Amino acid sequence: MGSIGRLSTQGTVLLLCDMQDKFRPTIFQFTNIVSNAARVLQACRTLGIPPIVTEQYPKGLGPTVPELGASDLKAYAKTKFSMLTEEVQSELKALGEPKKAILCGIEAQACIACTTFDLLERGIEVHIVADAVSSRSQTDRLFALSRLKQSGAFLTTTEGLLLQLVQDAKHPNFKEIQKLLAHPSPDTGLLGLFSSL
């Protein structure tokens, strides 16, 4: 039987892809996508899951947006669409070669897709946080998520991910995670896509 996609805090890494200032006006639901990714980052910090941040051609596309809450993290600059640059691969090696990756960011049909394919080819299980991933067009977002699901990635939501990571109200960090779930995740337009996935 193949993996059912159960997540745990052990052997997992959070990948935050290219949430940069110049994308703000063009990416569908950018503000809400970043808000959800910021909650995922907060939860991962609380639970000891290491984060990795990339920026696509930052000289032209600007820095990671401050509201992500990642200003203390080194952002790896890249020009290729996959996050798996040599530097990021070295970082993964230093982290003990995680077997599972949580993926948030933009764009679904470009950097998220290429990163997912690279991770899957390396035998790393991929969990895409669908309400923390977007594109300029809803069509590209829909077909990218559908295609990545066909390839073997698991699709989840911000809240689903956080609850899966703690799994029990008796978890020592549950109260902190519960605070992140006090308000429902903002709508990022996924409901209209759901019947097609």
pLDDT per residue rounded down to tens, the chain (197 residues): 568 999 999 999 999 999 999 999 999 999 999 999 999 999 999 999 999 999 999 999 999 999 999 999 999 999 999 999 999 999 999 999 999 999 999 999 999 999 999 999 999 999 999 999 999 999 999 999 999 999 999 999 999 999 999 988 888 888 888 888 888 887 788 876 666 55
Residues with active-site annotation? 18, 78, 111
Every domain of the chain and the residues it spans: 12-178
Asked whether 119 and 152 are in contact (CB, 8 A), the reply is no
* pTM, rounded to two decimals: 0.95
What does the alpha-carbon distance between residue 196 and residue 101 come to, in Å, rounded to a whole number? 25
H or E segment and range at residue 104: strand 100-106
CATH, domain range 12-178: 3.40.50.850
